[in-house]
Amino acid sequence: MESRIQRIFLVRVILAAVLLTASSLSIAQHDGSNPGEKTILDSIIEPDLDRRKIRESKIDSEHFEFGFFTGVMSVEDFGSNNVSGLRGAFHISEDWFIEAVYGATEISETSAEALFDIPLLEDRNLRYYNTSLGVNLFPGEIFIGRNHAFNSNVFLILGAGNTRFAGDEYLTYNFGGGFRLFITDWMSFRLDFRNHIFTHTVLGEEKSIQNLETHFGLSIYF
């Protein structure tokens, strides 16, 4: 008995499904038949123009900058030492850019360490990274000889990051400026001046130190 009722229901469901599909198909066919038939009048009113657009993506863009640098960094109380590192930047507009820098240096002895021969620190490596916002201020041209003119600009930069120093890490603010000379469209020479400011307690009391860095480097644009 039960199976008979089930079968009746099943038949009804299948019937309903078939009917529904058929009706929706017929609607779809009805809809689809109209635009296919294009009269001669239509083609005169709407000429078949190719409205292709030229996209910017076909043009090689140079918004990203990647480069290396080397120079001198003075770490307060710990002497002036060679510094080198890598940088990556994204040029947002002709005025603004953001830059991430990673640099490394090895600090030398304080005068107390040198005089009394007591090593204060075990870890003498200093590593820093920072992200900064830069603004291109003064665009210009540098003329070398009679036949060469190179574009240049002067920029200011401000940012924050981390410094790993004496086995600990410190929030570091940096600011400075620099000079960029474009050798070709895709390569530039850079000269940077930065001040890295952070507060540490390595020498006992809390001390805010200013660490000046100057470096030059090469960057490519892609």
Among 7, 183, 207, 210, binds another protein (CB under 8 A): 183
Cβ closest to another protein, residue 159 vs residue 176: 159
Report the alpha-carbon distance of residue 176 to residue 65 in Å, rounded: 19
Among 86, 104, 120, 133, binds another protein (CB under 8 A): 133
What track of x and - describes contact with another protein for positions 2 through 41 (by CB under 8 A)? ----------------------------------------
Closest approach of another protein to the CB of residue 21, in Å: 32
Coil vs helix vs strand at 104: strand
DSSP class of residue 175 equals E
C-alpha 141: how far from its chain's center? Answer: 27
Among 4, 30, 51, 146, binds another protein (CB under 8 A): 51
Coil vs helix vs strand at 143: strand
Coil vs helix vs strand at 93: coil
Q: Tokens for 11, please give them.
A: 């038949």
Which helix (DSSP H) or strand (DSSP E) does residue 57 occupy? none
Q: Which of residues 68-127 bind another protein (CB under 8 A)?
A: 70-72, 81-82, 90-94, 96, 98, 100
* Piece of 7-15, 20-28, 31-39, 179-187 that binds another protein (CB under 8 A): 179-187
- Write down the residue that tokens 């083609």 correspond to: 43
Report the alpha-carbon distance of residue 178 to residue 190 in Å, rounded: 7
Verify binding: residue 146, another protein, rule CB under 8 A: no
What track of x and - describes contact with another protein for positions 187 through 206 (by CB under 8 A)? x-x-----------x----x
